Amino acid sequence: MRSILASTFTVAACLALTTAAFAKPVRIAPGNPPITADIPSAWKVSEIDRGIQARTGDDEVYVWFESYMPAQFETLLAEHNAYFKKQGVAITGEAKTQSVEFATYDLKSSDYPATYEKGPTVIRYLSIVPKEEGRRHLLISYWASPAGDKRYDADVNKILESLRASVEAR
């Protein structure tokens, strides 16, 4: 019994280490150092105008990381609204927001009630706004099916925990 338990523990530990190794650091925005996040290698990553898009292999979860200057915010928001409308996503109410203030930046999370193909869908924005003038802001946009939201919750949390931001991204 003890050897089976030890073998199981060893295999589980190796799998945990192997899983962590499959995450790859991806550059979101330039800087020294750049803004990066570790994206699981099974996810598809592509560049977009202001950063990157990452999505699961089954297209159940999409995450966009976009670095922008404050003057670009209205344009960015209009692009998101047009994209979601084109995809058939309907925002059905007001966002539930939470804000946290840190020494050098503010963090705001907004969850929107929404539907897609006559069912619920998950739309979430995470906004990171530096307090120092002239710094780039970061918008993390999230779109998922309710099942994908649950299935990939641990992956998304690891991605967000791996986020490393440049202090020089302008």
Q: What is the pLDDT of residue 32?
A: 65
Structure tokens at 107: 């963090």
Regarding predicted confidence, which is higher, 131 or 166? 131
Summarize pLDDT for 95-120 with one digit per residue, the tens: 999 999 988 889 999 999 999 999 99
Q: What is the mean pLDDT of residues 82-107?
A: 94
Q: pLDDT-derived band of residue 146, with 50, 70 and 90 as boundaries?
A: very high
- Residue whose token pair is 């979430």: 124
> Which backbone phi and psi does 133 adopt, to 5 degrees?
-60, 150
Mapped onto helix, strand or coil, the DSSP state of residue 48 is strand
Could you give the CA distance from residue 159 to residue 121 in angstroms, rounded to a whole number? 21
What residues contact residue 63 under an 8 Å CB cut-off, 6+ apart?
Answer: 53, 54, 55, 140, 141, 142, 156, 159
Mapped onto helix, strand or coil, the DSSP state of residue 32 is coil
Structure tokens at 36: 């990066």
Q: Is the pLDDT of residue 165 over 70?
A: no
